[in-house]
């Protein structure tokens, strides 16, 4: 049973560029959440997708956008990258009503903005 | 006041001792509580969940919840060096849908 898979594993981008991160949820899960984890901090909620729509959003600027495909996979796009966007980006999958049971996280994408 | 607060540590305990990790939360209506373990450079791994006041045991781990005090803790018995990691407390706040709010994590060091 495949867990949550994320790609790429590592990425280096230049300030001002755009980046796309990808996530495939665990088999059977249809809800995908994205988190940003800066070094030494806890994960911060970016947004959550269900049925191809953004259903919740955290306190992140519009430079952060996403998409969910019919097969439940998801993308996170970040435009006009800033140095402060350097972080570990985590994708988590779940059933829509099962946040109560916790998320399954992918291994993350380490983004470095230079 | 942060929504979920943890002492950043590091918390250092000798091998075989009990490690006690604490977390407080601000939203009194929070319903679900989780402990994640995160090794350096890795993603968080769910180790415990608790929903009702009291204790919940799973192997060497015990989660404790006190909603009146807005306090949740994790006890690790017979601590091993392999338990050395950052432990993240996460809360599903009331009216937050399916979003989990995380604390900043406590770094645990178990010394042989």
Distance from CA of A14 to the nearest CA of B (A): 22
Rounded-to-5 percentages of helix, strand, coil across chain B: 5, 55, 45
The answer to whether B32 contacts A100, with C-beta atoms less than 8 Å apart, is: yes
The answer to whether A45 contacts B105, with C-beta atoms less than 8 Å apart, is: no
The strand pair at B106-111 and B11-14 is best described as parallel
**Is B81 in a helix, a strand, or coil?**
helix
The strand pair at A31-37 and A44-50 is best described as antiparallel
Report the chain B residue with the minimal C-alpha distance to residue A106.
B43
pLDDT-derived band at B68, boundaries 50, 70, 90: very high
What pLDDT shows up at residue B93? 75
d(CA A19, CA B40): 24
The answer to whether B92 contacts A33, with C-beta atoms less than 8 Å apart, is: no
Name the residue with higher pLDDT: B21 or B27. Answer: B21
The strand pair at A19-24 and B4-5 is best described as unpaired
| Contact predicate B34/B46, CB 8 Å | yes
Along chain A (114 residues), what's the average pLDDT of each consecutive run of 10 residues? 88 98 92 94 94 92 97 97 98 73 88 98
What pLDDT shows up at residue A104? 86
The answer to whether A42 contacts B97, with C-beta atoms less than 8 Å apart, is: no
Pairs across A and B, CB distance < 8 A: 70
What pLDDT shows up at residue B95? 61
What pLDDT shows up at residue A94? 84
Instruction: Please give the C-alpha separations between residue A93 and each of A106, B15, B52, B77, B107, in angstroms, as whole numbers.
Output: 8, 34, 24, 30, 25
Report the chain A residue with the minimal C-alpha distance to residue B33.
A100
Q: Is B56 left (phi over 0), alpha (psi -120 to 50) or beta?
A: beta
For range B17-44, the mean pLDDT: 94
Q: Which one of A33, A58, A90 has the shortest CB-CB distance to B43?
A: A90
């Amino acid at each position: 049973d495949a867990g949550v898979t994320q790609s790429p594993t590592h990425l280096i981008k230049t300030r001002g560029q755009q980046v796309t991160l990808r996530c495939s949820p665990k088999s059977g899960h249809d809800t995908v959440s994205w988190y940003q984890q800066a070094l030494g901090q806890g994960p911060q909620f970016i947004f959550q997708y269900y049925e191809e729509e953004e259903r919740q959003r955290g306190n992140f600027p519009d430079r952060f956008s996403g998409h969910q495909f019919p097969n439940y996979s998801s993308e996170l796009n970040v435009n006009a990258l800033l140095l402060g966007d350097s972080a570990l980006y985590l994708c988590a999958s779940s059933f829509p009503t099962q946040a109560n049971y916790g998320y399954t996280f992918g291994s993350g994408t380490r983004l470095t903005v230079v | 006041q942060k929504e979920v607060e943890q002492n950043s540590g590091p918390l250092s305990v000798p091998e075989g001792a009990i490690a006690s990790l604490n977390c407080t939360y601000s939203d009194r209506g929070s319903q679900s509580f989780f402990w994640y373990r995160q090794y350096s450079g890795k993603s968080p791994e769910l180790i415990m969940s608790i929903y009702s006041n009291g204790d919940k045991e799973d192997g060497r781990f015990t989660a404790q919840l006190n909603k009146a005090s807005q306090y949740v803790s994790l006890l690790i018995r017979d601590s091993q060096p392999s338990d050395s990691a950052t432990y993240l407390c996460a809360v599903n706040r009331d009216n937050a849908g399916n979003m989990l709010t995380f604390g900043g994590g406590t770094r645990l060091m178990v010394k042989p």
